[in-house]
Amino acid sequence: MTVKVIAEIGCNWSDFMSDARAMVAASKEAGADYVKFQLFNEETIKESPLKDRLTPLILTEEKVKWLRFETNQNKIGLILTPMYLEAVEIAAKYADIIKIRFLDHENQQLIDKAMDTGKPVLISVPRPMIGPFFYHLRVYQLYCIPKYPPAPEDFNLDQACACKGLSSHFPHTLFDLAFVINRIYDDVFIEKHVMLGIGYRAFFTKESLENPGSTAEIYFKPEPIDAAVSIGFPELKNFISQLKLIERIQRTRI
């Protein structure tokens, strides 16, 4: 039994050099096997209502190269989600695994280019998809409910367990544990959205601290974009501990 846990950092960071670095280290400390980041560009997000918040989070190749260095230092794997064709080339150079998001699970051009890299490919799907990649040894279909967050009645345990992984949008781990216990494949992935904290955190400049009555230099960092579907790192660590316990219990079966 091998359950590989992906800490989906995605776009849940604000400052690249501090937040992203801290989240990579926290993912490793929690016991995750991989961290995952998203590769989008201005064209990808031009219609998004969150465009202004997402634009500063665009990862250049130089930033991805830095992420590769950080993940190597922390001895944790790196997964990248390319959202445009040219991003596949960046993922091919730096990622251990390429992930295809749910919105692109029928984007054959993007999937074909990812497959051409020779790397393992994860694809978020609404149900097990029978097709040319279903039995491919490098392809892992991850059951995904494209709601933020889903309702309990949206979850289909049979369809989830027929896939080789779960991309969870639940802000807890109940359904993830149900998947682990009931799955039919030994080698699977679980992707959990993670965040550093909930709510707003105030940041103060030196000048504002020296002038307590001043608010001109105070600004607020908004809560993570995907806070509604994310868990904190303490909960991730507890979840991974539960997975290891399940593995020990299942090994005692006759």
Which pLDDT tens digit goes with each residue over 20-36? 999 999 999 999 999 99
**Domains in the chain: boundaries:** 2-250
Q: How many CA atoms lie within 13 A of 31 on its CB side?
A: 14
- Name the β-bridge partners of 10: 37
- Name the β-bridge partners of 166: 143, 190
CB crowding 193-211: b at 16 or more within 10 Å, else e: bbbbeeeeeeeeeeebeee
Instruction: Identify whether the C-beta of residue 125 lies closer than 8 Å to the C-beta of residue 169.
Output: no
Instruction: Identify whether the C-beta of residue 4 lies closer than 8 Å to the C-beta of residue 250.
Output: no
pLDDT of 218 over the 60 cut: no
pTM here is 0.90
- Name the β-bridge partners of 177: none
Structure tokens at 149: 């967050």
Distance CA 111, CA 129 (A): 14
pLDDT score recorded for residue 193: 97
Structure tokens at 160: 């989830």
CATH T-level topology, domain 2-250: TIM Barrel (3.20.20)
pLDDT digits (tens, 9 = 90+) for 162-194: 999 999 999 999 999 999 999 999 899 999 999
41 Cβ neighbours under 8 A, 6+ residues apart: 58, 83, 84, 87
pLDDT score recorded for residue 38: 97
